[in-house]
Amino acid sequence: MTMKIPKYGFKYLLRYPQAASIQESFSETEAQKVLRFHRQLPGYQSTDLVRLNQLAKAWGCGEILVKDESTRFNLRAFKVLGGSYAVARLLCQKLKQDIDSVDFAYLVSDEVRQRLGQITLTTATDGNHGRAIAWAAEQLGQQAVIYMPKGSSVSRVEAIRSHGARVEVTALNYDDTVRLARRLAQEHGWHLVQDTAWEGYTEIPSWIMQGYMTMCAEAVSQTLQAGISRPTHVFVQAGVGSMAAAVIGYLLNQFQDNPPRFIVMEPDNAACMLASAAAGDGLPHAVGGELNTIMAGLACGEPSPLAWELLRDFPCCYISCGNFVAANGIRILANPLRGDDAVEAGESGSLGIGLLDLLVNNPDFGKLKEDLKIGPDSNLLFFNTEGATDPENYREILWHGKYQPLA
C-alpha cells in the first residue's frame, strides 16, 4: 500500500524484494567487456568515489559514498557511458564484427567511414543522453539529430550543439518527444539510439544499460579499496529506469549472497516506477501530464519495459520527492563539513543526499528511516549522475535558496 507524508507531499511504497532470477547481461564478465571499451576512449578516467566521512558521523551513518559522475569525459554526466557503448555496438553490428574483436581506433578509422558511409544518429533527450549521442557521433565522424522536450534549458541545448549536432526543441513533453524521434528516424532512415525500450525495440536500450556498468564496476572496486566490504543501501534515481536497473542488475550479481537494499527515487510529478509498483499487477504503468520538475533527467512518465523487469522485483522502497529535496541535496554537497570534499551535483544527481537529509534529520521521516534500517552500521551508496548541466539554475539554487520546502 502506498504511504504518504502529507506535510511534504511525499508518497512511498515499502516491499520485500521478490524472488527472481538475476540477469546475466549484467554479470561481471559483461561489465569487464564494457569497461575494456570505455578505457579506449579519449580522456577516459575513473570518476571519484567521494567518501563523506564527516557527514556520515554527523548523520549517524557508517559510510556515505557518492560516485561522482560530474567529471565523466568532461561532459558532466554519466550518460556518455551508455550512449558511446551503444553507438559502438551499432557500428560493429553494421560492420558484422564483435565489439570485443575491434578497438576504438579502428571504429574512427577512414576504413570504417568508407565502409559505412555517412550515417545519422538520432534520439530524444532531456539533455545528458542527447549530449552523449552527439559526442559519440562527433568522435566517430558521423552526424546527429537530437530532439528535446519543451522547456529544455538553453545551456543543455547549447552543450549538445557544441558537438556539431542539430538540435530541435519540440512543443511536447519527454515521452511524446521520444515518439517523435522514433517516427522521424523511420521516415529518414536514421539510426535511433534511445535509452528506453518498447515492443520490438530492446537491443539498443539493453546496450545502453550495459554501458552504465562501467560506473558501477568502478564504484565497487573503489569501495573495496576503501576497506568497505559492501554497500548496505543503494539510492538510485529513476527516469525511464535504465540507469537504476543497470545499477541494481550489476550489484545483484556482485553481492548475490547479501544484496544491498535498493531505494528507487523519482520526482513527484513523474513517479511512474512508484505508480507501477503500487498497481501490484507486475506491469509497467505510465503517468501523464506535464511532468514538471527541476530534475529534468528524471522527467519521464513511461517506464522502460526492459528496466521494469529489474525494478519490479528487487527494490525495497519506491519514493517520490519534491523539487526542494533535490535543491537541498545540491546545497549540502556543495557546502561540505570540514574535512569532506565538495561535490558539484545537478538537480537529478543530488536527489539521494537530499532524501537522506530528511530521513536522518526530520522526525516526520523517522518511521521510514527505521523501516529502511538506516543507522550506524549502514554503508550508503549514491550516484551523482550529473554536475551543474544547467549552470544558471544551479546558481539560483545554491546562491539564492531557490526551491524551499513547504512551510
Instruction: Tell me which residues are annotated as active site.
Output: 79, 126
**Could you give the CA distance from residue 321 to residue 386 in angstroms, rounded to a whole number?**
18
Cα dihedral 76, 82, 84, 88 in deg (nearest 10): 170
Backbone angles phi, psi at 191, to 5 degrees: -100, 110
Angle, helices 213-225 vs 28-39, to 10°: value is 100
Main-chain dihedrals φ then ψ at residue 102, nearest 5 degrees: -125, 160
Nearest residue to 235 (alpha-carbon basis) of 399, 369, 343: 369
Residue 321 backbone phi and psi in degrees, to 5: -130, 150
Q: Are strands 317-321 and 10-14 parallel, antiparallel or unpaired?
A: antiparallel
Are 196 and 176 in contact, with CB atoms under 8 Å apart? no
How many angstroms separate the CA atoms of 368 and 296, rounded? Answer: 26
From 306, 352, 291, select the one nearest 126 (Cα to Cα): 291
Say whether 235 sits in a helix, a strand or coil.
strand
Measure the CA–CA gap between 401 and 342, rounded to whole angstroms: 18
Q: Which of 48, 71, 13 is nearest to 317 (CA)?
A: 13
Question: What is the distance between the alpha carbons of residues 68 and 49, in angstroms, rounded to a whole number?
Answer: 6
DSSP 98-132: -GGG--HHHHTSHHHHHHH---EEEEE-SSHHHHH
Q: How far apart are CA 122 and CA 187, in angstroms?
A: 12
Within 6-160, strands assigned E span 10-14, 49-51, 63-68, 120-124, 143-148
Cβ atoms of 250 and 265 within 8 Å: the answer is no
Distances (CA, A) of 96 to 87, 92, 116, 205, 208: 14, 6, 11, 19, 19
